[in-house]
């Protein structure tokens, strides 16, 4: 019985890691797409360099905030699994 419990705990930690990685990949893809749009707008002269820099800073801040939210969500959801 003790062996099964330990094995199940490892499976759940694997799910935790898989969920976190999946969410990070989605956020990274979204960030990359938005960044490409900004660069295209700058090249088409739809926006100027100052506006591009400002929007890029906002995009970066939003991306890092989402990273922290995902990590926090994962930690809260699976907090029982992380305790040995």
Residue 1 has a pLDDT of 45
| Inter-CA distances, 56 with 17, 37, 70, 79, Å | 29, 11, 21, 34
- pTM of the complete model: 0.67
Where the chain has pLDDT below 50, the residues are 1-3, 84
Residue 32: the pLDDT is 94
Instruction: List all residues 6 or more positions away from 66 whose beta carbon is below 8 Å from its beta carbon.
Output: 27
Q: Give the chain's mean pLDDT.
A: 81
pLDDT at 72: 84
| Torsions phi, psi for 26 (to 5 deg) | -60, -45
């Amino acid at each position: 019985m003790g062996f099964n419990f330990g094995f199940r705990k490892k499976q759940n930690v694997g799910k935790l890691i898989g969920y976190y990685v999946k969410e990070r990949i989605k956020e990274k893809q979204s960030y990359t797409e938005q960044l490409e749009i900004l660069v295209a707008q700058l090249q088409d002269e739809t926006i100027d360099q100052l506006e591009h820099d400002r929007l890029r800073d906002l995009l970066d801040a939003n991306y890092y905030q989402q990273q922290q939210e995902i990590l926090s969500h994962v930690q809260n959801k699976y907090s029982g699994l992380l305790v040995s």
